[in-house]
Amino acid sequence: MDAATALFVERGFHGASMREIAERCQLSKAGLYHHFRDKQALLLAVLLAGVEQAGVIVARATAAQGGTRAQVRELLAGIARHRDRQRSVMRLAEREAANLSAEARAQMLAAYQASFVGPIEALLEEGRTSGALRSDVDAAWLARALLALSQPLLTARAGEVPEQVERTVALFLDGAGR
């Protein structure tokens, strides 16, 4: 998957050939077609693998001990740890999703909601229920706000990550006001 992801990111859906992808994966073209019926199926598999990895990040965050603050910190740290892969997959999804059929796009979006956004909403709903988060803002909106705040972590330098994670946790949970 990594080789296909890299080639799709580097050359785009139309610029990457199944032959080149097979070569990078050290497969024959026929071997690649044995696993994926066409390039669209391979692109969908690459995107779904990225969604699956994102789901693992959320699962680890949900399992973190110490309440909402610890869970949000672990979520943001996980996003930062996997930033190169996640940034590549996000860029690929934004740029190349139009090359998927409507059915494949719907499948990808459903997987993204079920594996990533939905569990983040559930984590934040727990925070609302426990009183750690405001009860007048719904969990779906909080999830979107948290994901928006996490964007700088995708481009952070390795040495900056711990400080930026803490800054983002504080901004999300404590606010920007004085």
**Are the C-beta atoms of 162 and 88 separated by less than 8 Å?**
no
pLDDT at residue 87 greater than cutoff 90? no
What distance in Å separates the CA atoms of residue 106 and residue 16, rounded to the nearest whole number?
23
Say what the pLDDT of residue 105 is.
96
Chain centroid, CA 18 distance in Å? 25
pLDDT at residue 106 greater than cutoff 90? yes
The torsion angles phi and psi of 101, rounded to 5 degrees, stand at -65, 165
pLDDT at residue 76 greater than cutoff 80? yes
What distance in Å separates the CA atoms of residue 176 and residue 55, rounded to the nearest whole number?
28
Q: What is the pTM of this model?
A: 0.89
For all residues of the chain together, what is the average pLDDT? 94
Domain over 40-174 is classified CATH 3.40.220.10: no
CB atoms within 10 A of CB 34: 10
Q: Which residue has the tokens 């699956």?
A: 52
| Confidence bin at 85 (pLDDT 50/70/90) | confident
Q: Where are the domains of the chain?
A: 40-174
